[in-house]
Amino acid sequence: MTPHQPLDPAAARAATTTGRRTRRGTAVCAVVLPAALLALQLGLGTAARAQTQEQPPSGTRAPAGSGPRVASPSAVPDRAMITEGQVKEVARGGEITYPSVTSCLTVTVRLEGGGLVGAHASLFQLPGELRSDRILAALKDRVGDRGVTAVEVRGAVGAWHPGYFVKAIESYDGTEQPPVPTGQDLDGIARAVSQGLGLPLAAVTVEDVPDGDQTVSDRAPLARAALHRAPVYQAPVYRIPLHR
């Protein structure tokens, strides 16, 4: 049996210090490690949320530094071609073209503040398009509650009976015949359009024009008045009643 060797005091102190350092180090690690994991998780979560917010929609490229993209309503065009049975709109200063107006009537609504809403009414319905007794309702819906300064009806006035705006030719069966126009009933057509849009008769004008394409531009009276140094004519503003 090996005789017992006395422990060196310096070694004892070193061992004691090492033991304390080891125990303290273990305790510190036990506290620091969960905190580090928590910080790491928080950092990853923040980064994931930031990446989710900054990620542009698929197929689009977001500008650098921009936030989430918000879809904007489609812009109203400056020009439009309105064929038979259609209703469209152009922005302020824009222009509408109605092609091949032979037996048709066009109805153009001038909006307060600029812009046009137009309808191309056809005697006979084209496939997939509006009938003559549906066109004014669609035009009315498109205008909504916006202010109206004028309604212009142009086209083959002599080919139209005012009743065609109320009951289309296609609606008549063999038991009754559609009414036949006996001339240019300008007043009757103006009343039918006025009633169909829910606007005063004073807002509607009717004009018989030769066959062919029609082009209607949004007037800019302020610019013309400034050019000719003339006073600006303030047109009355009409509104379609909200109750329909």
Mean pLDDT of 36-63: 45
Cα–Cα dist 88/99, whole Å: 14
Q: What are phi and psi of 115, to 5 degrees?
A: 110, 155
Does the structure show a pLDDT above 80 at 101? yes
Grade residue 46 by pLDDT with cuts at 50, 70 and 90: very low
Does the structure show a pLDDT above 60 at 212? yes
Mean pLDDT of 32-48: 44
pLDDT, tens digit (0-9, with 9 covering 90-100), for 196-207: 999 999 999 999
Report the percent of the chain where pLDDT is more than 90. 57
Grade residue 112 by pLDDT with cuts at 50, 70 and 90: very high
Radius of gyration of the CA atoms of the chain, in A: 39
pLDDT of residue 21: 41
pLDDT of residue 239: 83
Residues 6+ apart with CB under 8 A from 240: 140, 143, 144, 145, 148, 197, 198, 199
pLDDT of residue 32: 42
Task: Mean pLDDT check: name the lowest of 6-10, 107-111, 151-155.
Answer: 6-10
pLDDT of residue 234: 55
**Under 8 Å between Cβ of 132 and 165:** yes
Cα–Cα dist 55/76, whole Å: 29
Task: Mean pLDDT check: name the lowest of 76-85, 195-204, 215-224, 226-235.
Answer: 226-235
Residues 6+ apart with CB under 8 A from 65: none
pLDDT, tens digit (0-9, with 9 covering 90-100), for 147-170: 999 999 999 999 999 999 999 999
Does the structure show a pLDDT above 50 at 232? no
Per the rule left: phi > 0, alpha: psi between -120 and 50, beta: everything else, 229 is: left
pLDDT of residue 22: 40
3-state percent breakdown (helix, strand, coil) of the chain, nearest 5:
35, 20, 45
**Under 8 Å between Cβ of 112 and 150:** no
Output the average pLDDT for the chain. 76
Grade residue 236 by pLDDT with cuts at 50, 70 and 90: confident
pLDDT of residue 243: 55
